[in-house]
Each structure stands twice: as C-alpha cells, then as structure tokens.
Amino acid sequence: MAEFDLKDLEAINSKQEIIDFLVEHDIIKEKKFREQLAYEKELQQLQENLLALQSNIIDQNKRVLIIFEGRDASGKGGTISRATEYLNPKKYRVVSLPKPNELQQGQWYFQRYFEELPNAGEIVFFDRSWYNRAVVEPVFDFCTKEQYDKFLKQVVDVENLLQDDGIILIKIFLSISKKEQAERLQDRKDDELKNWKLGSLDQKAQELWDKYTDYITTMYAKTGTENSPWIEIVTDDKKTARLEALKIIINALSTKKHETEMVNIYPS
C-alpha cells in the first residue's frame, strides 16, 4: 500500500478529492470499488452540470417539465433523486399525484396536472404523469375505452400547446427486463425497509407483463412525436441508467431542440 502522511490528508478538502487520492495512490485496487468510484465521480460531474443549467433556467425564467414514466421497479424515484440531489430546492419540484378524488374525477383529465406545471425559472419532475391514462389505467380497467381513446387524441395537441407557450418538455421512459423486475419486486417484498415501495399494482406487474407491453408500444407510436419524442432507457444496470438519464436531461437543456426521433439508449 502506498504511504501518505498528515500533510496529504490536510490537503484533501472534498469527497471527490478523497476519491481521487485513493485511486491515485493505488490504495483501492479492487475492481468493484474502482467501478463504484468511477460512477460516483461521473455522477457528481453530471450533477454539477445540471446545477449550472438550473442557474441558467432561473436567470432566464425558463420553464422545464421532465416526465418520468416506466414499468414498476424500473427506478424512477432513484433516478429523480440523483437528478435533484444538488439542485436549488426553491426552484424545482417533484410531483407524484395520488389517484384523483371525487371532485377531480369530474374535471377534464389534464386539469389537476396543469395545476402542477412549472412556473418561471422552475424545473418540475413528474414521477408518473398524465400518461397513467395511456398505460396503467387501461391495464387495470381504471378508465373506459372512450376515455383512453380521447386521451390519445388530445395529448399530442396538449403537449404542443405547452411547448408553443415556451415550456421545455422532456419525456423519459425507464424500461426493465421481466427477469430484473421480478428480482427487484421480490427484494422489496423481503426487505422491511423497502416494503413501502411495493404497492398493490406492483404485485400484478409480472402477471400483466404482456398487457403492459401492448399499451406501452401503443403509447410510443401514438404520443412520441418529432416535437415531443419518448426517450427510452433500459435500467437493468441502475448506475448506468441513472448516468444516461442525467446526460439526456443535460443535453436537452443545453440545446434548443430535442432529438427528432425516439432513442433507445440500451436496446434489449
């Protein structure tokens, strides 16, 4: 093991400098630890870039809406938490709406979501969104065929109007293999600290896998447009997926236009 003294330690001022020191002095040799350190370093760099972009959004009064959809246990919450970890908490919100109450059930479907749209200088993350009506609701017969068809007919126009008004819209879908989903759901069931993540609908995810697939495929085809594409990330490798999600957000916020086609980052 490499030698170091008190002067070396006194020169270390940050978590990243500790990581760099351990690697540079060959103190940590195991591949697993080195991979983790490389992940942490890249993650921090991306988080710093995102923070810088947030400052620009605040200064220019931009409005950003980032929609996260995905299969159960695909890592939406964990990915969002990494994206927001160092952002100015006064200028971002994470919105995860519960099922509509009786009053909301009588409103236009999009109405309760519109109340959560970003204000000037703000980023809003939707942890699930109005796309519940494109997948979850029809899978479990929570909406009628007429309501489902009406949603598909309206949503593209709605998103075009939001973008015409200046809102920057990013739509990310987190995918996962059936095998990996089964393992994560079982882990949630076995771990008392993760039990709260296992909802009643999650437990049906494997049984209804093919039905989910059919509705997801239709959602891509009907609602992924040139102005508002779906960007899919397969999340079997959580760390890689989180990094890619941050890169996608940073790229979208750094350019005036999104990519014109849906991109599958990790095709299965």
> Does residue 260 carry a pLDDT above 70?
no
Residue 257 has pLDDT above 50, yes or no: no
Cα–Cα distances in angstroms (integers) from residue 233 to residues 11, 35, 76, 109, 236, in the given order: 40, 21, 11, 27, 9
Q: Residue written as tokens 């309501």?
A: 147
Question: How far is it, in rounded angstroms, from Cα 165 to Cα 151?
Answer: 21
The overall average pLDDT reported for the chain is 88
9 or 56: which leads in pLDDT:
56
Q: How confident is the model at residue 255 (pLDDT cuts 50, 70, 90)?
A: confident
| Distance, CA of 98 to chain centre | 18
According to the model, what pLDDT value does residue 236 have? Answer: 97
pLDDT of res. 230: 98
Mean predicted confidence (pLDDT) in 241-264: 75
pLDDT in tens, 54-101: 999 999 999 999 999 999 999 999 999 999 999 999 999 999 999 999
* Percent of the chain whose pLDDT exceeds 70: 83
Q: How buried is 238 (Cβ within 10 angstroms: 0-12 exposed, 13-18 middle, 19+ buried)?
A: middle
How confident is the model over 127-183, as pLDDT tens digits?
A: 999 999 999 999 999 999 999 999 999 999 999 999 999 999 999 999 999 999 999
Query: Poorest-confidence range of 40-54, 164-178, 182-196, 248-262?
Result: 248-262
Give the residue with greater pLDDT, 35 vs 208. Answer: 208
The dihedral formed by the CA atoms of 201, 204, 205 and 207, expressed in degrees to the nearest 10: -160
* Secondary structure, 3-state, the chain: CCCCCHHHHHCCCCHHHHHHHHHHCCCCCCHHHHHHHHHHHHHHHHHHHHHHHHHHHHHCCCEEEEEEEECCCCCHHHHHHHHHCCCCHHHEEEECCCCCCHHHHCCCCCHHHHCCCCCCCEEEEEECCHHHHCCHHHHCCCCCHHHHHHHHHHHHHHHHHHHHCCEEEEEEEEECCHHHHHHHHHHHHHCCCCHHHCCCCHHHCCCCHHHHHHHHHHHHHHHCCCCCCEEEEECCCHHHHHHHHHHHHHHHHHCCCCCCCCEECCCC
Question: Does pLDDT of 199 surpass 90?
Answer: no
How far apart, in whole angstroms, are the C-alpha atoms of residue 123 and residue 6?
43
Q: What is the pLDDT of residues 100-115, one digit of tens each?
A: 999 999 999 999 999 9
> What is the reported pLDDT for 160?
98
**pLDDT above 50 for 261:** no
How many Cβ atoms are within 10 Å of 3's Cβ, its own excluded?
6
Compute the distance between CA of residue 43 and CA of residue 49 in angstroms, rounded to an integer: 10
Q: What percent of the chain has pLDDT over 90?
A: 74
